[in-house]
Structure 1
């Protein structure tokens, strides 16, 4: 099946459509999504359960690609190369990042585990996509984003910072809007089943209460992935 892929001199491929990528080779659990135009490397040419192991170039995320989707890959003319973005430039782009999340919220959506492509996102997928919309690449998962962000205290929060939640480890992330408000994509069990705005307080709506109990840390994005 891999023989049908044209040779890539860069050893990388780009996708001509949005693709689902999976956590395991059985392709049952969505891990992330590959937006049209993104690049990947094939980690191993061996086919396992009708899937191959790949790694996305922009955020270095490993996943499984169904061999049925190989036909949507084309050779990349050159290897992916990141672009340096200064801390000052990132700060200037925060209004556009926030605008992205508002537009996403105002489009009918629901929470999708592994979702990074509109209209349905998971928590870290929304955050990654919002920053990517202005050329800033973050790691894929919420705990990775927490490690990547510059640590700040809750009293230092300003618009565009990230708020992390969890119990034993970080499992959820939101974008701070100011005035105790944050926007996030949350699931059915304790959240909004989609993108919504809540507050960092424990005396308001039930979703705000649920996440207030799980507050973990805060961070500021000061760099893009190398």
Structure 2
């Protein structure tokens, strides 16, 4: 950590400065990969996000492990992608929000979702920048647009939320902005954003009848293939009543 202590806040990134523990604010979109080699995306980070380096960067430019500070999400990046697009930062200040403040921001969450739906888009595994999203990348981006940070993946979001009762055709306890969770009994694998009146917006792939963002429903009388498929995999619902602060994650 002695090397880290000599970094000045605001210093532009250089490969020799990417020491474990150093923190950087990016000013351009960045792909995080699921492995040190290959094209598989873990997630994407938009300009303004911050990351912490977990490994030393090698002179060859080989990928280095990092975690995003706002949600603690890990991934691998090509350190050369940071050159000219990141500056050293100190530890972030806490941004914890109370439940009432989060509720006040739900109109902004829903406005982001509606705007995203209006754009031409496709399902993209690991997508969180837009216009192409995966399911949980979309819900996280919608909340982040309102300054509320929730976890990245669907199963993490399910654990993070306050449970709300829901069943096919029975959704009176849900509020717009709640998250709807789907999957198998063993694990949550999909998430959508509740809009009201039994409808939810989500990004799903071609294997289930759509390629991108679309609205489906919990009503039993809806017989379109996408609604039917996800009703069969309905696990539950949750309400966002807390958020990450971007600085105290392990």
CA contact under 8 A between 2:25 and 2:89: conserved in structure 1?
no
Corresponding residue for residue 141 of structure 1? 153
Give the TM-score normalised by structure 2. 0.84
Give 4+ residue runs of structure 1 displaced > 3 Å after superposition: 2-8, 46-49
- The 1:20–1:72 alpha-carbon spacing in structure 2 relative to 1, beyond 3 Å, is farther
C-alpha distance in 1, partners of 2:42/2:24? 19
CA contact under 8 A between 1:25 and 1:52: conserved in structure 2?
yes
C-alpha distance in 1, partners of 2:177/2:239? 8
Identify the match of residue 117 of structure 2 among 84, 96, 105: 105
Is 2:163 the counterpart of 1:151?
yes
TM-fit CA distance, 1:82? 3.2
Deviations 1:63-103 (A, max 9, x none): 00013313144233322233121111111111111111110
Query: Superposed, which structure 2 residues align to 1:205-220 within 5 Å?
Result: 205-220=224-239
RMSD across aligned positions (CA): 2.0
- The 1:49–1:190 alpha-carbon spacing in structure 2 relative to 1, beyond 3 Å, is farther
C-alpha distance in 1, partners of 2:56/2:226? 45
C-alpha distance in 1, partners of 2:192/2:137? 11
C-alpha distance in 1, partners of 2:26/2:107? 29
CA contact under 8 A between 1:42 and 1:55: conserved in structure 2?
yes
CA contact under 8 A between 1:15 and 1:72: conserved in structure 2?
no
C-alpha distance in 2, partners of 1:21/1:75? 18
Structure 1: which 5+ runs fail to align?
none
CA contact under 8 A between 2:61 and 2:79: conserved in structure 1?
no
TM-fit CA distance, 1:6? 4.6
Identify the match of residue 103 of structure 2 among 91, 98, 101: 91
C-alpha distance in 2, partners of 1:179/1:139? 26
Max radius of gyration: which structure?
2
C-alpha distance in 1, partners of 2:48/2:201? 27
Identify the match of residue 49 of structure 2 among 14, 38, 44: 38
Corresponding residue for residue 54 of structure 1? 66
Corresponding residue for residue 10 of structure 2? none
Corresponding residue for residue 189 of structure 1? 207
Structure 2: which 5+ runs fail to align?
1-12, 246-250
Corresponding residue for residue 161 of structure 1? 178
TM-fit CA distance, 1:14? 1.4
Farther off after superposition, 160-169 or 64-73: 64-73
- The 1:25–1:111 alpha-carbon spacing in structure 2 relative to 1, beyond 3 Å, is same
CA contact under 8 A between 2:179 and 2:192: conserved in structure 1?
yes
Deviations 1:82-131 (A, max 9, x none): 31211111111111111111100001111110001021110000100000
Aligned length: 224
Q: Which has the higher strand share?
A: 1
Corresponding residue for residue 224 of structure 1? 243
CA contact under 8 A between 1:58 and 1:80: conserved in structure 2?
no
TM-fit CA distance, 1:27? 3.6
Give the TM-score normalised by structure 1. 0.92
